[in-house]
Amino acid sequence: AQSVAQPEDQVNVAEGNPLTVKCTYSVSGNPYLFWYVQYPNRGLQFLLKYITGDNLVKGSYGFEAEFNKSQTSFHLKKPSALVSDSALYFCAVRDINDMRFGAGTRLTVKP
């Protein structure tokens, strides 16, 4: 079965600094990879996805992610973090009929 792993429970970064939230995947066949963000007591909001094509995917709110096949990674990045980016981030992989999520990484951006 397809799966993703998020090795960091928590990421702290200062406002204005670049941020990276890590994700690695394990799939058979071509991976369909996604990033979602969740604010407190809210549902998940779609940020971006990789299906095929360019390894660098651009998404909402200035986020981007880099697909790396050799390292089986799909890390989420942003050049300059905002305090409002503080939230829970989930990496996910499309399985046959549903989406499989990582455990989540809590991003805290400090002023």
Partner 1 sequence: DTGVSQDPRHKITKRGQNVTFRCDPISEHNRLYWYRQTLGQGPEFLTYFQNEAQLEKSRLLSDRFSAERPKGSFSTLEIQRTEQGDSAMYLCASSLGQGQGSGNTIYFGEGSWLTVV
- Residues lying near partner 1 in the complex (CB under 8 A): 29, 32, 34, 36, 41-46, 49, 51-52, 90, 92, 94-104
What is the closest distance, in whole angstroms, from the C-beta atom of residue 52 to partner 1 in the complex? 8
- Cα distances (Å, whole numbers) of residue 101 to 24, 33, 72, 79: 11, 10, 16, 25
Q: Residue 19 or 36: which CB sits closer to partner 1?
A: 36
What is the closest distance, in whole angstroms, from the C-beta atom of residue 109 to partner 1 in the complex? 20
Q: Residue 79 or 95: which CB sits closer to partner 1?
A: 95
Round to whole Å and give the CA distance between 111 and 55. 31
Q: Residue 25 or 102: which CB sits closer to partner 1?
A: 102
CB 61 within 8 A of CB 45: no
Round to whole Å and give the CA distance between 83 and 106. 13
What is the closest distance, in whole angstroms, from the C-beta atom of residue 90 to partner 1 in the complex? 5
Q: Residue 38 or 72: which CB sits closer to partner 1?
A: 38
Please name every residue paired with 76 in a beta bridge, in sequence order, or none if there are none.
Answer: 21, 65
Nearest to 91 by CA among 31, 9, 24, 11: 24
What is the closest distance, in whole angstroms, from the C-beta atom of residue 80 to partner 1 in the complex? 26
